[in-house]
Amino acid sequence: MNLAMIARIALRALVRNRLRTFLTMLGIIIGVATVISMLAIGTGARTSVESTINSLGTNMLFVSPGSVTQGGVRSGAYGRSTLTADDVSAMAKECPSVLAAVPMTSNGAQIVYANQNWQTQVSGAGVDYPIVRNWPLARGRFFLEDEVRSGAKVAVLGQVVVDQLFGSEDPIDRTIRVRNVPVRVVGVLTEKGDTAMGNSQDDTVLVPYTTAMKRLFHLQFLRYAMVSARSKDLVEKAKSEISALMRQRHRIGPGEEDDVSIRTQAEFAQTAAASARIFTMLLGGIASVSLLVGGIGIMNIMLVSVTERIREIGIRMALGARSQDILLQFLVESMMLSLLGGTLGIMLGYGISKGAARFSEWPLMVSTESVVIAFGFSAVVGVFFGLYPAFKASRLDPIEALRHE
């Protein structure tokens, strides 16, 4: 018996019991579809996180006040009040690897225009904010150096705030009230979209940091600073230069703990990528259990098939079929079940992912890697779980098989 003949016999046996064949394949179909869908969710989550981090700006570093220890108790991040606008200005002037540095502070506030109001995040920033965040304006302008120096009551709005307060009305040169302080709108930012956590980056109001600190929130120190290195290769060097500069300016002695925390965009990306990778592996592992169940189903049905066809096996052996021919016949049947189920599962998983992405607006991405893994796993399942029934069939005694009723 050649392989083509064995494949025809196996296919005929599967077609003869269509319903049982379909129900057996169903476990593999659902398992493969689940694996592909879950991996698509994980891949989409990772892509979304990476996109969000990249949207923060170019070659970014985040400088924030560090922790403080008093009486053996550590406050955690933002515990110190030491970061000033002069510190940020010094970063831009005295650190050769730094392209631009922006003082930042932020607080929630209620924004009012005419009979409309909206709760949003109000951030104080410097004039280089669009450069550091790589965030151009849709219309109008950003605030000027003179306006920052004088603490002018001007603002640049995100698109969500524009939609909520102004609708189709042009917001430029309109006056809004932030904590009952009248502020003139001078510009509107382009849309950035949502973060990986689902928060809108466009739900924001930007004012000069001097305005935010003196007029709106009455602060003495900055919340944090955003710094852009001159190139990706200089990010770590910029981090070292900023650390040395802050230790010098804040008179931190040798062996003493830094009073600022500096994190790079790469560190955020690595942390996010690691979390997304673990999330994807977890989803894939959970989905793989359904493939295991499908494989057990194949083994069960193949054992039933061997029992039902003992007399047929005996006749074939009597006509000259060897043990390896019988082994190969049932192994091919098992592989046909798993591979056909795997193919249908890939189609179903792809359809589910695309449909879910369309209706949920979540970036589900079906990768070639996930398809290959799912299909390969289904093939392995067919071989592994079909091997024992096939071996059992090949070891039957022809005489006893012919006597079987």
Mean pLDDT lowest among 40-49, 58-67, 322-331 = 40-49
Name residue 53's beta-bridge partners. none
pLDDT at residue 154, rounded to an integer: 96
**Residues in a beta bridge with 62:** 226, 263
Question: At 178, is the secondary structure helix, strand, or coil?
Answer: strand
Stretch 352-371: mean pLDDT = 72
Stated as kind and residue range, the H or E segment containing 189 is strand 181-189
Closest CA to 298 of 49, 98, 21: 21
Q: Are residues 86 and 100 in contact, defined by beta-carbon separation less than 8 angstroms?
A: no
What mean pLDDT is predicted for residues 180-189?
94
Asked if 204 and 161 touch (Cβ cutoff 8 Å), the reply is yes
Helix (H) or strand (E) holding 359: helix 323-360
pLDDT tens readout for residues 120-165: 999 999 999 998 888 899 999 999 999 999 999 999 999 999 999 9
- Please determine, for residue 334, whether its predicted confidence score (pLDDT) is greater than 70: yes
Residue 71: the pLDDT is 44
Q: What is the distance in angstroms between the CA of the first residue and the CA of the last residue of the chain? A: 26
CB 341 within 8 A of CB 377: no
Question: Which of 263, 249, 262 has the alpha carbon at shortest distance from 94?
Answer: 249
- Tell me the domain boundaries of the chain: 3-52+271-403, 81-258
Reduced to 3 states (helix: H, G, I; strand: E, B; else coil), residue 396 is coil
Q: Is 156 exposed, middle or buried (0-12, 13-18, 19+ CB in 10 A)?
A: buried
**pLDDT over threshold 50, residue 308:** yes
Statement: residue 72 has pLDDT above 50? no
Q: Which of 247, 204, 210, 261 is nearest to 85 (CA)?
A: 210
Q: How, if at all, do strands 137-140 and 181-189 pair?
A: antiparallel
Q: Which of 260, 230, 235, 255 is closest to 245 using CA atoms?
A: 260
pLDDT confidence of residue 210 = 94
261: its two tokens: 């925390």
Round the average pLDDT of the chain to a whole number and report it: 80
pLDDT greater than 50 at residue 76: no
Strands 154-157 and 181-189: parallel
For the chain, give the number of residues.
405
DSSP string, 90-136: HHHHH-TTEEEEEEEEEEEEEEEETTEEEEEEEEEE-TTHHHHTT--
The Cα–Cα gap between 385 and 390 comes to 9
| Token reading at 64 | 């924030």
Question: Tell me, what's the pLDDT at 82?
Answer: 81
* More confident position, 218 or 362: 218
pLDDT of residue 51: 63
Q: Do residues 200 and 194 lie in contact, with contact meaning Cβ atoms separated by under 8 Å?
A: yes
Residue 74 has pLDDT above 50, yes or no: no
pLDDT recorded at residue 70: 46
